[in-house]
Amino acid sequence: MKLRKVTAVSAAALVLALTATACGSDDKKDDTGSSASSSGSGSGGKIKIGIKYDQPGLGLKKPDGSFAGFDVDVATYVAKELGYEPNQIEFVETKSADRENAISRGDVKFIAATYSITDERKKKVDFAGPYLLAHQDLLVKSDSDISKGTDLNGKNLCSVTGSTSAQNVQKSIAPKANLKEVSTYSECLAGLQSGAIDALTTDDSILAGFAAQDQYKGKFKLAGLKLSNENYGIGVKKGDTATTDKINAALEKMVSDGSWDKAVTANFGPANYKNEPAPKIGVIVPKAS
């Protein structure tokens, strides 16, 4: 199975990411991802925030270098509450497998990147939230007869290293699937289109964004399975309870002032993704509910 081709989106993201790295940043950063003091006060400094770059509707770096998506809007709202204006934000790409390390190293102050709260991850990082409940699902070709998790056994499946999606497939959904793990979900799309891949699995929120892309319209469908509960949290350095508390307060305010609903409509509306209601802070919907 070959998965060498990358999509236009991920290729563009890669070029932009490389450019961004080459340009670098000359502001000084402390070990918390902030170039100002770690107190959380903006005061003219920058804040580094981890997001995804290739997930339309959630975290996307556009060809013009700007960023869009629900995670971007959540991150921007939270940053404002921490004292940082949008022009003080420096978004950094945090791929699924890099998230715990990016936080522990202090590369970023926090991460809003379709990052599910799990007990395993909580050993390494703290989480604010949850701020969205998604479910693992499958993206297949429109004419595919894959309709349940066990149909994946013996099939070519694509997912991302370090994700709950890949782990769930191996542990419970379809241990006999031929799982190909790559570093970003968009890398799975070319294989799905060519037929090298039978299904792409991750959160329905992410898959809906891909399926709604102009180049894929009518070609793919979501299986509509709720294979898991994915409680999206904001990852923070372990022990930084001051920041976690402030982010929780910001998330609560985002819901109560209507900004959460606005962000949902703006980002999930185009993909027709029917999201779950806003979660309550600190309330995790367990795996089998």
Binding positions for ligand GLU, rule: CB under 6 A: 96, 113-116, 160, 163-165, 202-203, 230
In terms of phi and psi (left: phi > 0; alpha: psi -120 to 50; beta: otherwise), the region of 57 is left
Residue 159's contacts (CB-CB under 8 Å, 6 or more residues apart) are: 165, 166, 169, 179, 180, 181, 182, 185, 188, 200, 201, 202
Residue 40's contacts (CB-CB under 8 Å, 6 or more residues apart) are: 34, 82, 83, 242, 243, 246
- Length, in residues, of the chain: 289
Spatial separation of the C-alpha atoms in residues 63 and 194, rounded to whole Å: 25
**Alpha-carbon dihedral sign for residues 35, 37, 43, 49:** positive
Residue nearest to ligand GLU (CB): 163
Nearer residue to ligand GLU within complex by CB, 113 or 182: 113
Helix/strand/coil for 51: strand
CB of 287 to ligand GLU, least distance (A): 13
HSE of 243, CA atoms in CB hemisphere, 13 A: 25
CB of 115 to ligand GLU, least distance (A): 5
At which residue do the structure tokens 């894959």 appear? 146
Nearer residue to ligand GLU within complex by CB, 201 or 243: 201
Nearer residue to ligand GLU within complex by CB, 10 or 116: 116
Q: Are 222 and 138 in contact (CB under 8 A)?
A: yes
Nearer residue to ligand GLU within complex by CB, 96 or 244: 96
CB of 284 to ligand GLU, least distance (A): 13
Nearer residue to ligand GLU within complex by CB, 160 or 192: 160
Spatial separation of the C-alpha atoms in residues 135 and 230, rounded to whole Å: 5
CB of 200 to ligand GLU, least distance (A): 12
CB of 30 to ligand GLU, least distance (A): 27
Residue 64 DSSP one-character state: T
Nearer residue to ligand GLU within complex by CB, 9 or 36: 9
CB of 165 to ligand GLU, least distance (A): 5
CB of 41 to ligand GLU, least distance (A): 30
Nearer residue to ligand GLU within complex by CB, 10 or 163: 163
